[in-house]
């Protein structure tokens, strides 16, 4: 025991021996393991404490023990691997800002409000007597991106068809050393014209965040970010993205509802649409806008001919597009 503890340097709080290595300290004086285990403070707070400050903290922490002892986890929201969690005890209306059972158990009186954000915009927010859910405009944003995604998928399909043709021709070349030089040259030129398309379409949402404002002697706020869905760069799909987005926001909505049950179980959820006026203006502007300029047949026809040759579209689809472009 003497190898790991120092009987000559005693804890300034309780007088117990302190660790020889990796000891927590206040004002340069090492704490024993028992007192150090009671530290549940925001980053940097311990470094600014005096010994008297820490003694007051220990009193507050010990007074919280009955709540910690009664805490039984009934719900958890994980922010991601090694990113922390929020743990709730719905039966006793308690909240813990982490998974360790030595963390403070916060009561409803300790929680002033919360906000759940999507790229800085409020999705859900609550405080005593007020619980609001804000409709997202994700469907409208995905609809705006859909033409670009459809174009990318078409180019990607064309590229994959060309790559399949290249692999097939390479295999044939290996089997037939008597292939004419002209065939080799034409094939190489044809292959060199096909480049893999780059997917550079931005994701509609970059991140979500949970923000809690607290009224506690030592914890004043909590803030954690969590990732948002991302397009599959090979096969992007607005439908798949919307499914992932819905799953993510449903989980955040459940967190908001549970937080509200702790803060004020009687509060009724109000749903608002902050984008309603903007969408109405956009619809009106669209209806008054000039017609979209038609594609230039001299540019579009070779493009669709190449797609037909690559097997991306059928001959019938090409003829229909040709008639449309030429106004026949």
287 Cα distance to chain centroid:
35
The confidence score (pLDDT) of residue 37 equals 96
The confidence score (pLDDT) of residue 166 equals 79
**C-alpha–C-alpha distance, residues 125 and 117, integer Å:** 9
Residues 117 and 211 sit within 8 Å (Cβ to Cβ): yes
Would 235 be classed as within a structural domain? yes
The confidence score (pLDDT) of residue 317 equals 73
Give the count of domains, the chain: 3
What the block records as the tokens of 220 is 């004043």
269 with 305, same domain? no
The confidence score (pLDDT) of residue 267 equals 95
DSSP state of 296: P
Q: Collapsing DSSP states into helix, strand and coil, what is residue 131? A: strand
Alpha helices in the chain (DSSP H): 33-36, 51-63, 65-70, 138-175, 181-192, 238-263, 276-288, 297-309, 315-326
Listed residue (14, 10, 127) closest to 61, CA to CA: 14
Would 232 be classed as within a structural domain? yes
Would 85 be classed as within a structural domain? no
What the block records as the tokens of 21 is 């290595």
From the number of C-beta atoms within 10 Å of its C-beta (0-12, 13-18, 19+), residue 262 rates as buried
- The range of the structural domain enclosing residue 237 comes to 106-274
The confidence score (pLDDT) of residue 256 equals 98
Would 100 be classed as within a structural domain? no
214 with 164, same domain? yes
Would 212 be classed as within a structural domain? yes
Would 246 be classed as within a structural domain? yes
Residue-wise pLDDT tens for the chain (328 aa)? Answer: 455 667 889 999 999 999 988 899 999 999 999 999 999 999 999 999 999 999 999 999 999 999 999 999 999 999 988 889 999 999 999 999 999 999 999 999 999 999 999 999 999 999 999 999 999 999 999 999 999 999 998 888 888 888 888 788 777 777 765 555 545 545 444 445 568 888 999 999 999 999 999 999 999 999 999 999 999 998 999 999 999 999 999 999 999 999 999 999 999 999 999 887 655 555 454 445 434 345 566 666 777 776 677 666 678 777 877 777 666 6
The confidence score (pLDDT) of residue 180 equals 54
**C-alpha–C-alpha distance, residues 178 and 130, integer Å:** 81
The confidence score (pLDDT) of residue 11 equals 96
49 with 166, same domain? no
pTM: 0.76
258 with 321, same domain? no
268 with 300, same domain? no
115 Cα distance to chain centroid:
16
166 with 249, same domain? yes
113 with 258, same domain? yes
The confidence score (pLDDT) of residue 3 equals 54
Burial 285-306 (b: 16+ CB within 10 A, else e): eeeeeeeeeeeeeeeebeebee
Q: Which residues pair with 214 in a beta bridge?
A: 111
What the block records as the tokens of 37 is 């285990």
328 with 229, same domain? no
133 with 237, same domain? yes
């Amino acid at each position: 025991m003497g190898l790991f503890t120092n009987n000559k340097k005693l804890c300034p709080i309780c007088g117990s021996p302190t660790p020889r290595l990796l000891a927590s300290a206040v004002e340069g004086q090492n704490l024993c393991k028992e007192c150090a285990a009671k530290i549940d403070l925001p980053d940097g707070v311990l470094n600014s404490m005096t010994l008297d400050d820490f003694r007051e903290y220990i009193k507050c922490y010990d007074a919280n023990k009955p709540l910690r002892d009664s805490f039984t986890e009934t719900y958890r929201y994980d922010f991601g691997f090694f990113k922390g969690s929020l743990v709730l005890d719905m039966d006793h209306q308690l909240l813990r800002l982490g998974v360790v059972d030595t963390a403070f158990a916060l009561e409803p009186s300790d929680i002033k409000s919360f906000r759940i954000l999507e790229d800085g915009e409020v999705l859900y927010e609550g405080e005593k007597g007020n619980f609001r859910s804000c409709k997202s405009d994700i469907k409208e944003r995905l609809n705006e991106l859909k033409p670009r995604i459809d174009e990318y998928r078409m180019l990607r399909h064309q590229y994959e068809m060309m790559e399949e043709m290249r692999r097939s021709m390479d295999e044939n070349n290996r089997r037939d050393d008597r292939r004419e030089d002209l065939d080799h040259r034409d094939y190489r030129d044809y292959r060199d014209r096909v480049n893999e398309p780059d997917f550079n379409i931005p994701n509609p949402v970059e991140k979500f965040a949970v923000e809690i404002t607290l009224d506690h002697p030592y914890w004043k706020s909590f803030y954690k970010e969590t990732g948002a869905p991302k397009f599959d760069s090979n096969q992007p799909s607005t439908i798949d993205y919307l499914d992932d987005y819905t799953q993510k926001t449903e989980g955040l909505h459940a967190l908001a509802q549970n937080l509200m049950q702790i803060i004020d179980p009687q509060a009724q959820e109000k749903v608002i649409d902050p984008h309603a006026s903007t969408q109405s203006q956009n619809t009106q502007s669209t209806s008054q806008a000039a017609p979209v300029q038609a594609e230039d047949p001299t540019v579009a026809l070779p493009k669709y001919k190449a797609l037909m040759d690559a097997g991306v579209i059928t001959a019938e689809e090409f003829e229909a597009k040709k008639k449309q472009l030429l106004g026949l």
